[in-house]
Structure 1
Amino acid sequence: MAHFRLITPLARTIAIASLAGTALLAGTAVAQVSDQSKNKPPAAEAATSNKPETVEQRIATLKTALKITPDQEGKWNGVAQAMRDNASKMEKLVATKRAVPPEKTTAVDDLKTYQEFTEARLDGLKHLTSAFKSLYDSMTPDQKKNADQVFERYVPPRPAGQG
């Protein structure tokens, strides 16, 4: 059971990495709905949602909110692919960890699992940030202001027990 307890709180933080965490690593079936999502603008909700919606839904919502132009499609496709790659890697990691029965998981295994998820989120965030920077640099001043507001309004949920 310790294994499941570790993955559930971890799944809530997967979405954070997704936007800045633009997506960022979201799209996992272990994610759960957060009450804070009701206060987020649509693009931030799409990029960081804890809901088990598809990464494709988040990509579409974010693209609309960021007002991507036809000239920016190539750079946007890089962001969308980073989101897909991150979600896929996280889903595979979750599936691998779920395959191990909780009763066969030790405290050390739990710590290693947490480390693996943290490393996957960090690697995904680096990949996404690089792709998003290229897109952001191509945006008009109005688009940049909009993107800044989308990211600025997002407040990540706090893990249980942290207020």
Structure 2
Amino acid sequence: MLLATGAASAGAPFLGVEGSGGGESLLVFWGLALTVWLTAFALHTRRLYAESQTARARHAEREQEQRVRLAAARERAEIARELHDVVAHSLAVMILQADGAGAVRVAGTSAPFTVPAGQLAAVLAALVLVTAAAGTVPALRASRTPPTVAVAQGD
């Protein structure tokens, strides 16, 4: 098509086509064609840029969600470790106190000191609670919803 337009504008005597008025119309035609092509190229480039920015935003959002999930998992693990340490220490102290109380002899007598019923009941209750809590650990690990985290904004 461009070749035909150029032949019609400039003329092609060997084809039997006479020129239609010089090179002005050919220059205008090529100027318009170049303008249309450059506009289409710019629009295509802009569309590709917008698509790449959208893909980058989606990728950044997925990374942020993954960081939040990892932070929540780390926080749950830290809480579990601390809870385990506190419960284990408390149970160890109670058991040592109960055992120690049985070994202590009342001053001036040969009869051993008896463990108070309340203390022994507390130790047994703690053991029951720890056993029950251990049963909830798989449910906590299976939880897929991360806890909400409040982030303080600096002034």
Q: TM-score, normalised by structure 1?
A: 0.29
Query: Which protein, 1 or 2, shows the higher relative CO under an 8 Å CA cutoff with sep ≥ 6?
Result: 1
Q: Which structure has the larger Rg over C-alpha atoms? A: 2
